[in-house]
Structure 1
């Protein structure tokens, strides 16, 4: 079969077939009387083998080695191809994400596009100081899509940069909650915590509902900031987590203050008192825990907590008794003013 017919049947251009011949990849078995290339059925099969290997991403040199070296094993080369393809896919995904970010920012002209691209480069810096500076400067220059800021908030580990991103997210306006709330379903607890911290700074009933949902998170590092933020918004479901924080000594002062604010609701105050007294009963042999609970009781309405504090003034542990006595005295003085 002559080269033109081979090209029509195989879909490989005559130019490429001649290139294969020059490289020694597919050399036609014979020549016609006039000197034209003539391909045998075995030659044509080899052409298809070359094309098949090229479709996997092999270079022509790699194809030649695969076809000519009897000792060649594909495992190493296929593994390298997989890694090469994965890297290319990552680069393409990064480009796609960047284009979507630019599109979501609805730039008015190319100067806006350039500023958005500069922001993306800055946020990708390994320097936390540069990332923070980029966020603060960009928020002043051009509106940034909330999708970009929400994604950056969820991945930023530096607290200063994260704070700047939350500030920029608030300034950007729009609905940033949806993008941030998606982080609450992440497998990584660190991402869920970042989502909670960002949502805590957002107003509205939807943000409050998202925080309430995070109160049942399996990771305490996520539940605790959710409880502080939700409790500050009057969420009753935050009470058990806040009491646990007092018991565990993690942001216990903040937790006690939020419990005190929640106790302004008379019905909820009863529940909080019950939880605190129950915790005291469960930790009779742990003076440090009992001191924290005693201090939390002082944040409760005096008519509910004063009697309990007086009883604790006779606690077997001297430190607990002294703290309770001092707090009871302070509440007595405050109630007589």
Structure 2
């Protein structure tokens, strides 16, 4: 806490109560404490926003109740840039579920430091356990919506394609890929390159993703998938191709 004057002792007591309530055994009390912390009503005279953010992030990492997690998320977003540093540090947590909570908060805190931290989650091995794969997919979706520059843009595109292939948030990944590449050709070319080595269920997802992507290249690849040996892939490609109204659409 910052050095307090005698007139500030009531504020000091408020902060002490807040910290105690954040550690309460009762979820309702923890939720009320988080909401109070984000409402700019507790201890502003005696505790810095950065120190408060650290306490809230620590609570977020250990919180088992979804309602309380939501309140902590809201409070951290209200703190703005002050919350970014402790959230970035929390991305080192070994638990993918906990890092997912941190990512959700960073998603609502735009800025170069936040984007770089989320982008660092895109570096991933070829095979991930499902929680890790979903975390990487979610990170790619967050970064893509911030219209990143190269080389992060290219890494984001590759991560979205991987999400489509593996089925980790594949529908949202396909929609986001279409937004990331408005003309569609770069994304469609990457998906096309995946087809020869893809299993039937992957080719179905690729066909579905191509249905979200505009451009002549996506149309060409869908035309090839109409002849796919997997009946479901072929029918999906045929249907999506029939919905295109222009040669470049």
Q: Give me the TM-score of the superposition, normalised by structure 1.
A: 0.61
5+ unaligned residues in a row in structure 1: which ranges? 1-101
Higher relative CO (Cα under 8 Å, sequence separation at least 6) belongs to: 2
Query: Aligned match of 2:196 in 245, 269, 281?
Result: 281
Query: Aligned match of 2:222 in 309, 312, 315?
Result: 309
How many residue pairs align between the two structures? 230
For residues 3 and 240 of structure 2, the distance between their equivalents in structure 1, rounded to whole angstroms, comes to 56
Q: Who is 1:197 aligned against?
A: 104
For residues 239 and 108 of structure 1, the distance between their equivalents in structure 2, rounded to whole angstroms, comes to 56
Task: Map residues 1-337 of structure 1 onto 2, 5 A cutoff.
Answer: 102-103=1-2, 109-140=8-39, 141-142=41-42, 143=44, 145-216=52-123, 219-235=132-148, 236=153, 237-264=155-182, 266=183, 269-283=184-198, 285-286=199-200, 288-332=201-245
Q: Give me the TM-score of the superposition, normalised by structure 2.
A: 0.80
For residues 222 and 126 of structure 1, the distance between their equivalents in structure 2, rounded to whole angstroms, comes to 29
5+ unaligned residues in a row in structure 2: which ranges? 126-131
For residues 319 and 200 of structure 1, the distance between their equivalents in structure 2, rounded to whole angstroms, comes to 36
Q: Who is 2:128 aligned against?
A: none
For residues 104 and 160 of structure 1, the distance between their equivalents in structure 2, rounded to whole angstroms, comes to 34
Shift of 1:175: 1.9
Larger Cα-atom Rg? 1
Name the CA shift for 1:333/1:217 in 2 (closer, same or farther; >3 Å): closer
Are 1:139 and 1:168, in contact at CA under 8 Å, matched by a contact in 2? Answer: yes
